[in-house]
Chain A
Amino acid sequence: MAKVPGLLKGLGVTLGTMVETVTKGANTVQYPHEKETPPIRARGVIALHEGNCTSCMLCARSCPDWCIYIEGHKELAPPRRAGGKPRQVNKLDRFDIDYALCMYCGICVEVCPFDALFWSPEYEYSEPRIADLLHDKAKLGEWMETVPEAPELEAGAEKKGKK
């Protein structure tokens, strides 16, 4: 069988793709009318569960860009049971993450010993002003609603579903 010259084969590939796009649709997604859902583990934005945070500063220290700003003070909380002594708790004054600096590396989420930080796949939070990219405590708490459940792990994994 005679070899089809490469030139004609190339034309065939492009024509085939054109026919495929016309009949089966393109590979592209018409954003913003349709949106693709990112995978569960996608690193979109960091959410803060304020109740768990003890301002231990581990996340702020381990951030490669030093983009987490934490300020807290110690307070006296009422004792857990009657007759005990009042205990000292850390109260969070300020917990800001500067998303203009954030590298989305996830080290802060990983090192938090109290599970106060979570990843969320939410990605549509760009702002016209860079100053608005500093998300404060309240905004980080709002992202908690978008945090998904951790996915099931592949067969053969040791632990079932890690946080």
Chain B
Amino acid sequence: MLGLIASIPYWAQSLLRVLGGIVAVLLPAGTIVYVFLFKMMSFMQSRLGPMEAGPFGSLQLFAEVGKWLQKEDLYPERADKFIFKMAPLIVLSSTFLLVAVVPFGPDAWFTNFEAGVFYALAVSSVSVLGILIAGWASANKYSLLGGLRAAGQLIAYELPMVLAVIGVVIQAGTMNLQQIVVAQNDGSIFGWDGLGNPYILTQFIGFIIFMIAVQAELTQAPFDMPIAESELVSGYMTEYSGFRFLIFFIGEFATAGVFALIASILFLGGWGVPFSWFGWTSIDSIDNWMNVVGPLIMFTKMMLLVFVIMWVRFSYPRFREDQLQRFAWKVLIPLSLVNIMATSVLKVAF
């Protein structure tokens, strides 16, 4: 199969990659919205969720997309039109840029950067820009408050995210996401390689910090001050309706999916299963069917992590802005620095 793909012209390969990227972003977004937002949230609230559109409400997402698409394209009179229209696209583009570096299988990847981790963390900050200008350009005091809160919060929680990932990078010895996956599945815990070496076991603190930082980067409760439904109506998204709101909406859940994919790569072993199960020795010796099974494994791990994110989202009230910042600066960052020091010491020792 790989020979077949290598033989088609470059423009066709790029087209396949683009289509794959779109699927990789929209499919998780759609599944997350249906399974978690419509169904899991409803079950946690003693109700059944949408049941009318399609069997068990499975087509509700299409109905919602259709509803948003057919709405009037409004924007406030005093809004800065160009920036107002650009903001949702910036937020969504950062998701697409992020998924470009996620490997789905031994040969199923879009790009294979040597500094994949560095690129991923850098590109995930682009969405902050989008949120900030959405808040300013809306010509609405509530949006402004939401945008300013978002700026403070998202920038503050970038740091714990980066520092938590550094522990993984130290342990893996590389910033290449593909190599990190291989290092985890090829590794062993004190000589026993039945489970590989998923970094969640050794980098447990880093995992927790990363998940909390992801929760904050996605502006999900308990860190949803920028949206803060009961105060700011919808925060920076208040003035958006129709197609533009749809892009924000997709962006929110697609980013949740992609962050979960990255977390599963860094901590749960990514697309792989422990090599010892099939007797593989290196990445070249992996069978070709892994290219099809790998995305499925990634999908499962992503759903698991998003389950935890959404579970926390539906259960907790939200932090106040200053409590949020205090938590990031005074608790998470020192903890992650300690984690880095401990990891480097142990890495040299063992």
Contacts and interface: CB of A to CB of B under 8 A. Distances in A.
Given A13-B315, A14-B314, A28 B47 contact: yes
B316 A30 contact: no
Interface string B25-47: 00000000000000010111111
> Which of A11, A21, A22: most chain B Cβ within 10 A?
A21
Chain A contact-residue range equals 10 to 19
Given A28-B48, A30-B48, A30-B51, A22 B43 contact: yes
A17 B48 CA distance: 12
Sorting the interface of chain B by its residue count into under 10, 10 to 19, 20 to 34 or 35 or more gives: 10 to 19
Contacts, number: 40
A26 B46 CA distance: 5
A145 B258 CA distance: 61
Contact of A28 (B44, B46, B312): B46
B316 A7 contact: yes
A10 interface: yes
B40 A18 contact: yes
B48 A14 contact: no
A10 B316 contact: yes
Interface in A1-39: 7, 10-11, 13-15, 17-18, 20-22, 26-28, 30
Interface of B: 40, 42-48, 51, 311-312, 314-316
Interface of A: 7, 10-11, 13-15, 17-18, 20-22, 26-28, 30
20 contacts: A7-B316, A11-B311, A11-B312, A11-B315, A14-B44, A14-B314, A15-B44, A15-B311, A17-B43, A17-B44, A17-B45, A18-B40, A18-B43, A21-B43, A21-B44, A26-B43, A27-B46, A28-B47, A28-B48, A30-B51
